[in-house]
Structure 1
Amino acid sequence: MPDSVTEAADVVDVVDAWMQQPNDRFMRQPWLETLVRWTGMDRHAPPVRDTIAAMDRAGVSCGLLSAWHGPTGPLISNDEVAAVVASHPDRFRGVAAVDLTDPMGAVREIRRCVRELGFVAVRVVPWLWNLPPNDRRYYPVYVACAELGVPFCTQIGHTGPLCPSEPGRPIPYLDEVLLDFPELVVVGGHVGYPWIHEVLSLATKYPNFYIDTSAYAVHRLPAELVEFLRGRGRERVLFGSNYPMITAADCLRRLDELGLDDEAKGLFLSGNARRVFALSG
């Protein structure tokens, strides 16, 4: 038996497009209860050393750490993310989160995070706000991302937490955003099930829309997405784990079952993320 996923899958480099380094405030959120029940994960925030060890087991060289901001305030602040990135700059990059109810403050914070802290993207989780991404409160965020040349990351599909899933439906919500902001790069995380055909139609229609596979072990990906990843969509799908809800090692354990050729595998595991987020390496 191989000692690691890296050996099992002959992985040279992996970039994880969706991770968290949670704090106790985040881990106490009541909406995590369903994920705790499904995954059996610990309610205690893992120390950074455990996060890096989990990355090493799967050959993850770089993880994109997401801040979280919701209607009640920051759950993982941008400065908390920045501190982790600064302590391990060779392993992490930051993804900012902002307050949708403070448009000017959100724009200023995005500029600070990108220009001063070196963050590589912005993420808003729609179900946390119960606002679909075509809501007017997102639009200053889109302008700032397009202005600074960083991707806007979001969640697509149903929710694990017991919250409405409708804000994660791709059409019409993201369709309208992509029409209004042709310069904006959008990364939809968590695959988009059960609206996978809507997801793939957007990826076909818009060259600046990407999909990340966070929250899914790769052997559980929808067959339509796997077919897309093997062929014409090989430059449009990024690997993500959603750590600590699921580790990269658990996500990638059955990678070879996807039947990817070497080019598609390399693009999926790291090449697409390095291009989309302008990562060195």
Structure 2
Amino acid sequence: MPVIDAWMQHPTPRHSNHEMFESLRRWTGMGLPEEPLPVKVTVAALAAADVEIGLSAAWYGPQGPLIDNDEVAEFVARSEGRLRGVAGVDLTKPVAAVRELRRAVQELGFVALRIVPWLWQLPPTDRLYYPLYTACVELGIPFCTQVGHTGPLRPSETGRPIPYIDQVALDFPELTIVCGHIGYPWTTEMISVADKHANVHIDTSAYTARRYPTELVDYLRGRGRRKVLFGSNYPMITPSQALEHLPDLRLDAETTELFLAGNARRVFRLGDHS
């Protein structure tokens, strides 16, 4: 069954070696890479789990880009059709950020915007985000963000679904929002916000299937089957690792297809085949 990975990145050394990821390196046992990761390694990791499309994101932070949009575009071009780009922008320069987002979508073919709030230590309700939400609606692309606690060594407060995602969805009901990393330890809050707002979704990145909270699994099996998208957080977790225990969730065939690919295909407007 084909898979779409809604949250991953092909890293640069600037990204992989950043000090804030020391906690993740400790958990995963990954060392500091000495050379850039070849795109073919990422393509092989996706292919090993039948990932048809990986949504590979740029990373922009207050000290500059860790993976910039043009680097992502280069990775996409070398991925044999396996990667699609997700834009990043400098949140503190809203006019330039909107221009860069438009360039990424209209010229580079990117399919979404991702901003990681803890990286900026600004919650999604901060005024600097709002021009970008308008641009996302006008461009017809989702806004992807992180919810839940932070694994990296930064404060977790910006990842609370309530009040932040709830308020953004109230202010921008036309905005499609994909909330990565499940929302733990506020998973029930995240589910309630997804229930409340038609255009709010959850992706499972940064968790293997055996670690999905029980309430999320129950939601996925039932009323949330069109609300939850698979994500890995590659390279921290490979898609194969993330999906190893998927059969233990006992999802029916329709729910499995929606979770692995169907929901992402619809939300990111990827068409029948990209």
> Is 94-103 or 81-90 further displaced after alignment?
81-90
SS at match of 1:161: coil
Structure 2 equivalent of residue 16 of structure 1: 5
The residue correspondences of 1:108-119 to structure 2 (distance < 5 A) are 108-119=99-110
1:39 correspondence with 2:31: no
Deviations 1:47-79 (A, max 9, x none): 111111111111111100000000001110000
The residue correspondences of 1:67-146 to structure 2 (distance < 5 A) are 67-88=58-79, 90-146=81-137
Deviations 1:245-266 (A, max 9, x none): 0000000001000110000000
1:176 and 1:16 map into 2 onto residues whose CA distance is 27
Q: Choose the corresponding residue for 2:146, options 125, 145, 155.
A: 155
1:42 and 1:66 map into 2 onto residues whose CA distance is 22
2:163 and 2:7 map into 1 onto residues whose CA distance is 24
1:164 and 1:89 map into 2 onto residues whose CA distance is 38
Structure 2 equivalent of residue 3 of structure 1: none
The residue type equivalent to 1:120 in the other structure is V
Deviations 1:125-181 (A, max 9, x none): 010001110000110110110110100000000000111000000101111100000
Identity of aligned residues (%): 62
The residue correspondences of 1:1-281 to structure 2 (distance < 5 A) are 12-44=1-33, 45-88=36-79, 90-280=81-271, 281=273
The TM-score normalised by the length of structure 2 is: 0.97
Deviations 1:186-234 (A, max 9, x none): 0000000000111011011001000000000011000000000011100
Equivalent residues of 2:39, 2:79 under 8 A apart:
no
SS at match of 2:162: coil
The residue type equivalent to 2:69 in the other structure is N
Cα deviation for residue 41 of structure 1 reads: 1.9
SS at match of 2:52: strand
The residue type equivalent to 2:193 in the other structure is L
SS at match of 2:261: helix
The residue type equivalent to 2:50 in the other structure is G
2:31 and 2:206 map into 1 onto residues whose CA distance is 16
Deviations 1:90-138 (A, max 9, x none): 2110000001110000100111011111100000001000111000011
**Over the residues paired in the alignment, what is the CA RMSD in angstroms?**
0.8
The residue type equivalent to 2:13 in the other structure is D
2:231 and 2:31 map into 1 onto residues whose CA distance is 20
1:60 and 1:153 map into 2 onto residues whose CA distance is 19
2:234 and 2:31 map into 1 onto residues whose CA distance is 12
- CA distance 1:278–1:18, change in 2 (3 Å): same
The TM-score normalised by the length of structure 1 is: 0.95
2:107 and 2:37 map into 1 onto residues whose CA distance is 27
Gapped regions of structure 2 (runs ≥ 5): none
Cα deviation for residue 89 of structure 1 reads: 5.1
The residue type equivalent to 1:22 in the other structure is P
1:109 and 1:56 map into 2 onto residues whose CA distance is 31
